[in-house]
Amino acid sequence: MIRLLIVDDSPLMRRLLVGIFAMEDFVVETARDGIEAIEKLHQFRPDVVTLDINMPVLDGLACLDRIMLERPCPVVMVSSLTEEGAAETLDALAMGAVDFVPKPRGPLSLAIDQIAPLLLDRVRAASTAKLSQTRRLAERVRLRASGMPAVSRRPNIAAISPMRSQPLPAGDRLVLVGSSTGGPAALETVLTALPGDFPWPIVIAQHMPESFTGPLARRLNGLCALEIEEVSRPVTLSPGHAYIGRGDADLIVTRWAGELRAMAAPKDPARPWHPSTDRLVETAMANVSPDRLVGVLMTGMGNDGAETLTRLHHLGGVTIAEAEESAVVWGMPGSLVRMGGAGRVVPLSYIATELKIMARTE
């Protein structure tokens, strides 16, 4: 049984969420605000916490900060689909939350069924997620030694001016990246470690709702030397750039007048995840020789990208799977490894190093 703590200030939302999980393999406890959540964190000792962001007394981000310091465990944020909600959710993921689910639109009692399957999948996956044992370790040690309450902390985002580059010459390399659960933090780890003059464009399919990919791109653009943008219109692929697919569409690679471009395309209903990594890789292979492609599959539920990257591997492309030891959820990269399509299996912190070594030896 999975021990689940539901934290939400709305009595109706708590009741509806309990109704979803009570019929499954869960033992459920609830808290009406962040203060009560911290008390039950130690008394109930949950395997997973679902956490609302907007709460009185101690809001979701401050509560998450305390959880990560006092008793780290997987947290799934329940967030609104607004621009502000997306920014706060990305803050939460940077602070250690493993995933999020969007709040349903419309009357809760009618709309809750829309997110029930997604919520069950995300919380079950979170119950098996691995948290970094060294994350904020020094702060945790000081907290336990002092007995003082933790202080709420949001990530400090320093703006770094991106470097401008020229369009990609025909026949040069592309890096294709697929990620899902745990992906925003994984992308930050990889992209911040790459220089602004990295010679190969990076095209990214990160599973996310429509309102989240733009804020994610802007956030990463402020952290990285690379220039990072959401693909909301056809864009020519250039070195020194990374391109994130829009959340309500698939991301495809095309060729126009000899130039490689990325563009948003309507979601393929035959594919369960979007933007689809499989579709990104398929379209890239249709326009670039497979031996000029580098495919990277990182943390995430499911198997999106595993089949096409296995094909890419057998056609001479380079494929990298994130190692199980570092992946929050080893679903996508694990599927690639099991299919025999992973040319290299490396921890998250070494993926950028692998890419830089390949670029220097090109």
Any idea which residues carry the catalytic annotation? Answer: 180, 207, 304
Provide the Cα torsion 278, 281, 282, 284; round to 10°. 160
Q: What order do you get walking across the sheet with 99-102 strand by strand? A: 26-31, 2-7, 48-52, 75-79, 99-102
Other CB atoms closer than 10 Å to residue 188's CB: what's the count? Answer: 19
Structure tokens at 37: 């959540």
Q: Which has the closest alpha carbon to 243: 262, 224, 259?
A: 262
CA-to-CA dists, residue 156 to 66, 69, 79, 309, angstroms: 17, 17, 21, 35
Distance CA 106, CA 112 (A): 9
For 269-274, the CB contacts below 8 A with 24+ separation are 271/304, 272/302, 272/304, 273/180, 273/207, 273/302, 273/304, 274/207, 274/247, 274/248, 274/249, 274/250
Residue keyed to tokens 């780890």: 189
Distance CA 238, CA 241 (A): 6
What burial class does residue 73 get, using C-beta atoms within 10 Å of its C-beta: 0-12 exposed, 13-18 middle, 19+ buried?
buried
What burial class does residue 144 get, using C-beta atoms within 10 Å of its C-beta: 0-12 exposed, 13-18 middle, 19+ buried?
exposed
Structure tokens at 328: 């929050």
Do you find a cis peptide bond into 169, omega within 30 degrees of 0? no
Distance CA 177, CA 277 (A): 8
